[in-house]
Amino acid sequence: MMTSCSDTSVALSTPAVLVKSEMLCFISDRSCVLSADDLITICSDFYTEDEIMAARQELDNGGHRLPKRKGADKLKSTTEDLVKVVLNPNNQLPKFYAVDLSRLPPVSATHCDISVLLSEIQALRSEVRAVNQLKAELDNLKAEVQLLSQSRHPPMATNQVNVGSTAPVQQPVEQNVAASNVKSFAAVAHNITLDGKEFQMVQRKQPKPKPVKKVVVGASSGNKHVRSVRTVRSVDIFVSRLHPETACNELVDCVQSVKGDLTVDNIVCTQLQSKYESMYSSFHIAVYVDSAEMKRAIDLFMAPASWPNGVFVKRFFKRKDAAQQ
């Protein structure tokens, strides 16, 4: 059980009145070693909202009406009201005691948690051991690097006698001579940079442009001494949105009526299967013309004025697999 530090700071009632409240016990007992601001900060951070409201309820039951705080700083403002009431020497308060000592914040050496200190010391010892082990591994690594450097760059052989010494310096001359014959990559690269003949600028020869072979197609109508081979190509047309009862011969007559003076070798009309046969019909028309008249035939048969109003016309392209067959 904890009591107040002096009668001048906190005025208590008769000793017979005892009230259990860890928070109020802590405030009344530590008011002699801590300032009011420190008490407010420690209590508002350490105690939960339920504990703070329970302490406020104890003072309310004792006749000290405290205002109900709201907002984000509700707990800190309520703790400030509790500290003011407990530290007021004119207030007659009961004697507060604590049962759960873990709910008393440690603020001095007498309230230290020994288990926490032991765990911290153990953690510190493990860190020191890890640092010592790392230092030993680093020393081993340095020694290995030094040995490797000495093996790659051994000292030069000498037969001179040290000054002040009667014994000659003995070094493996044969090993040093063999090692001196092996040049490192850095030494070779350095020697190459000093010698200007090692690197030469090589200009790539630009390839000569190939002559463009122009193809000429004869177009004279007066020169009839020789004749070219006549080739025939087909203008494939897809015609749709026709009346369901439209026949192929009707489309052939339509093509004959719009060809004009264009020489047409043959007209092949094939009816296609429509998605809705009762509503419209579709056809594939292949018009075979001379290769020289191919562009003119395409322009003629793809003109909107060559077909009746509302008929859908576009170029027809066969599938590759169908063309190979």
Structural domain boundaries in the chain: 18-106, 232-324
CATH topology of domain 232-324: Alpha-Beta Plaits (3.30.70)
Per-residue pLDDT band for 200 (boundaries 50, 70, 90) equals low
Nearest to 2 by CA among 34, 27, 36: 27
Give me the mean pLDDT over the 62-89 stretch. 86
- Spatial CA neighbour of 83 closest among 137, 46, 127, 29: 29
- Tell me which DSSP letter residue 313 carries: E
User: What's the pLDDT score for residue 175?
Assistant: 52
Average pLDDT, the chain: 79
Q: Kindly tell me the burial class for residue 56, based on how many C-beta atoms sit within 10 Å of its own C-beta (0-12, 13-18, 19 or more).
A: buried
Neighbouring CB atoms inside 10 A of 225's CB total 4
Q: What is the helix (H) or strand (E) element at residue 285, kind and residue range?
A: strand 281-290
Q: In a 3-state reduction of DSSP, which class is residue 39?
A: helix
> What is the DSSP pairing of strand 18-20 with strand 281-290?
unpaired
- Identify the band that residue 284 occupies on the pLDDT scale cut at 50, 70 and 90: very high
C-alpha span between 158 and 179 (Å, rounded): 14
pLDDT tens for 101-126 read 888 887 765 555 567 678 889 889 99
Question: What average pLDDT does the segment 37-62 reach?
Answer: 87
Cα distance between residue 11 and residue 274, in whole Å: 105
**pTM of the predicted protein model:** 0.33
